[in-house]
Structure 1
Amino acid sequence: MEAVRVLNDLLARPTQEGVLEGTLSHASFLLGGNLRGYAVTRRGPGQDRVTAVFGYPKALVGTPLSGPWTTARTRALSDGSRELYEANPPELHGILDTCGMRDVALSLVVPVSDRGRNLGALVLDRNSSEDIGPSAQELVTHWAAAVAPLLGLLEGRENWRLAARQVSSAVVEAFESQEFDGLGHAQAVAQASVKLGRAVGLAERELDEVWFAATLHDLGKIHGEQGHPQFGANFLHGVPHLAEAQKAIRHHHERWDGQGEPDKLAGEDIPLYARILAVANAHVRLGDPERLRAQAGKGLDPRLVGLMEKVSAEPPAK
């Protein structure tokens, strides 16, 4: 799925261009495909530049442009690129012509703003005049709003950890609301996993990997229930600093008694983070200490079950 590409790009390559390329790709998917697009970011008044493209030549990246994206609302332009050409000097028209922008019949302009600050816009172009309905426009507007907070964080390539967590949560929440069992499940499992990991004595860097594993553990369900841990683990392929999180996702359906999947690992042969994730996931799903205790020594690590019961009984930290 295109949305997952945004996540993988940020985790492996935390740049505005990487994130916005994936954002444009998923926006096109939400609109049914057959669109091209570009993203502009604002450096200051009159300093808008193309930062990423989807379907347009890469040479367009870096081009300074003015255009119909100064308003704070999503707009569908039935006259295509007319406003774009009118807003820019003749010397830029040749670049726009080379990219085929005179053929655009309809443009959807989606502002990208965070807490009232105008960060830029997504522009999705279609060569046919087929209408983009209000519900489709709303989907893309919500998608842009989910990504917006990341762009400010990435401007100086600082706060990567916070940005990565935000985009992970946004992508998972988007899919939970459509395809997973319950909205907020991943967040609850992540909180329980970190609490359990801290009780085991993991360091903060290790707790970060546990958090990512727990947050992303069900993302593979976009390919269906069967085999989803392997699919989910593949989303972190190419992100070496989350290699342990990748193993945790792959093996969180193993069982302490060796009857799990995919590799029928048993006992402490199952990676620790996977055992932590399995206990935290069961804790959230079962919601009953006795039912969780019944899995100790069968599906789940008995020591971790005991720790989970202990930390879950503790009052929340102030």
Structure 2
Amino acid sequence: MLADLLARPTPEGILEGALAHAVTLLGGEAQGYAVLRRGQDHVAAVFGYPRSLVGTVLSGPWTGMRPRLLADGSRELYGLNLPEVQTRLDQAGMRDVPLTLAVPLSDRGRNLGALVLDRTSPEGISPEQQEAVTRWAAAAAPLLGLLDSRDEWRQAARQIASAMVEAAESREFDAVGHGQAVTDTAMRLGRAVGLAERELEELWYGAMLHDIGKLHDEAGHAQVGANFLHGVPHLAQAQKAIRHHHERWDGQGDPDRLAGEDIPLYARILAVANASVHAGDAARLREEAGRSLDPRLVGLLEKLPPER
């Protein structure tokens, strides 16, 4: 079961799996939701309840560090929330829950959230069942803590990358903000292409760092910039994007004169985003479709709604 959770390394994936197994430990006659405590407590996963609940900000009986068995079911939950939230709970069918088990998810003294399980039958919850769910929550919680640490590292790494880019751009007044603008456009285009979150992460680094080689010199900056990511296996595609973002669709670019779809996808996305920021005009960008730029990506970018 832990292997299944690790196969979906997101808080939502872990919580969905944790809920499903917790329900089996109660004999199946239950449904529930998982609360994640990041800023405001909110529903991060559901089992048996409608997915429309996900994202709902809730106050509830899970702020302590001990499991709680609530004989009055959802009464306390309703009492802690505003009428508009109560309406959403009504729509999900929570008003008449007879019995609730709230089990905290804690890791090294941090309350990360909770599994909240509601009985759907008159049957009670035995001490043995409660203990089984509590043990299961204790096993799943460290995975959430690990993801929190990973997210903190991820944010720090992005801040360092952005700071390096700002240092490079500060040498030229006109370049300030260019990396962020290209990154924003590249990410919009990457999402439109259908890249997954893991792929978008690599695209972000490729776009943000595409001109970092200019710290050395303008000439050959793409190859120099790609070398910054040498030895970082999980950013191998970002490295290719940086190296090849000056290739041309017609094969007349640098450094390897790649043409068409032989140019890595991330590099083609980056080239279109870079050209878009430089051109600032859809007509000028359209002139390069099929010449220096991937015509499909140019057309796709034109169809995207304007940024708000």
How does the TM-score come out when normalised to structure 1?
0.49
Indicate the residue corresponding to 1:202 in structure 2: 195
Match of 2:215 in 1: 222
- CA 1:180–1:214 in structure 2 vs 1: closer, same or farther (change >3 Å)? farther
Query: Are residues 223 and 276 of structure 1, via their aligned partners in 2, closer, same or farther at CA, if it must alter by over 3 Å?
Result: same
* Counterpart check, 1:211 vs 2:211: no
Counterpart position of 1:268 = 261
**What is the correspondence of 1:1-318 to structure 2 with a 5 Å cutoff?**
159-179=152-172, 181-311=174-304, 313-316=305-308
Inter-CA distance 178–315: structure 2 relative to 1 (3 Å threshold): closer
Whole-angstrom CA distance in 2 between matches of 1:234 and 1:180: 25
- Alignment check: 8 A CA contact 2:168 2:214 kept: no
| Structure 1 stretches of 4+ moved >2 Å | 313-316
Partner secondary structure for residue 178 of structure 1: coil
Q: What is the identity, as a one-letter code, of the residue corresponding to 1:224?
A: D
CA distance in 2, matches of 1:249, 1:243: 10
Q: Quick check: 2:242–2:267 contact (8 Å CA) kept in 1?
A: yes
Deviation, structure 1 residue 175? 1.7
Identity over the aligned pairs, expressed in percent?
71
Q: CA deviation at 1:181?
A: 3.9
Cα distance in 1, alignment partners of residues 200 and 297 from structure 2 = 15
Shift of 1:179: 4.1
Report how far residue 314 of structure 1 moved. 3.4
Of 262-271 and 221-230, more deviation after overlay is shown by 221-230
Paired with 1:276 and 1:230, the residues of 2 have a C-alpha distance of 17
Give the conservation status (yes or no) of the 8 Å contact 1:214–1:277. Answer: yes
The alignment of Structure 1 onto Structure 2 pairs a total of residues equal to 161
**1:159 aligns to what SS in structure 2?**
helix
Q: Find the aligned partners of 2:270 and 2:173 in 1 and give their Cα distance.
A: 17
**What is the CA–CA distance in structure 1 between the aligned matches of 2:161 and 2:266, rounded to whole Å?**
18
Q: Distance in 2 between matches of 1:199 and 1:279?
A: 13
Q: TM-score under structure 2 normalisation?
A: 0.50
Aligned-partner SS, 1:250: helix
Counterpart Cα distance in 2 of 1:172 and 1:315: 23
Contact 1:179/1:222 (8 A) holds in 2:
no
Q: Write the distance in 1 (CA, Å) between the matches of 2:224 and 2:172.
A: 15
* Structure showing greater Rg: 2
In structure 2, C-alpha distance between the alignment counterparts of 1:295 and 1:193, rounded to whole Å: 17
What is the CA–CA distance in structure 1 between the aligned matches of 2:300 and 2:206, rounded to whole Å? 19
Structure 1 residue runs of 5 or longer lacking an equivalent are 1-155
Q: Specify every segment of 5 or more residues in structure 2 that has no aligned partner in the other structure, as ranges.
A: 1-148
2:167 partner amino acid: A
Contact 1:180 1:221 (C-alpha < 8 Å) held by counterparts: no
